[in-house]
Structure 1
């Protein structure tokens, strides 16, 4: 039995979960509404303030999908109650970020500024010129959008310049040594 799959998903007060035909799950909460089509072979039951996921048999694919389905449901419930947040840091001399309207404007060492438009369901905040906070209720969208921002100038290993996650550690390399005589 899947250790993650057999755990129930707690539904907090103020969250409404609807399971339609074919496992189309809709979760409504204070931060927004998420809808996702989950694997139809899995059985999703709501018992009181909990969601339970069960699988039809112990086939390899069903064992893998059991934990995945439960994790996706849990991420949806957490997303509409607390939301998800990724913090990025901009490192480098003259590198900075600013928010203009609904666009993120980055000065990251190119001859031009890089503009990243905000997408639906994602909010961008720039509390400091060297910090970007991406937040939203969909975990996958938040992570993907943060990865796209980081991709504009990934951190390099010699000086550590670029855009990195706040909790990311850059493994530094030793630069060139002097000429041998």
Structure 2
């Protein structure tokens, strides 16, 4: 009985590890240049605001290291929120927003601490995509590139949710196992 439980736990842990290993979203294309790395803490239900002045296509990759920080972006207000934003990413893991070339600068970035956690800790990497021309008149159609990237982000989000479910199952099984001992 215990041997079969250990085999199931081993299988679940190996599956969970595959979800936690670096995904395609973590692999940065050669044409992306790292501009900034921003780290911070945010309290439950609070916002922290940043301003993006850099021109061009910018990719914001934010990882919640503790808790759950969400990302809101706008070129209409410097203090975007879940009520006033143009772009958002509100996952429980890595949040990614692609700021297009045609967004008016400065761009407001709002980082929201989800109220499920007393405090959230995050790290955001800001990339410049040098493959996309800054001049709108030189710009070809980059919708194929955007579709490819957004589909990868959607796949990563699905994998992240599955990974969290598997980890929850593993924790539950381990808790039951240790309560039997």
For normalisation by structure 2, the TM-score amounts to 0.23
Structure that is richer in strand per residue: 1
Which protein has the bigger helix share? Answer: 2
Q: Which has the larger radius of gyration?
A: 1
With CA pairs under 8 Å and 6+ residues apart, which has the higher RCO, 1 or 2?
2
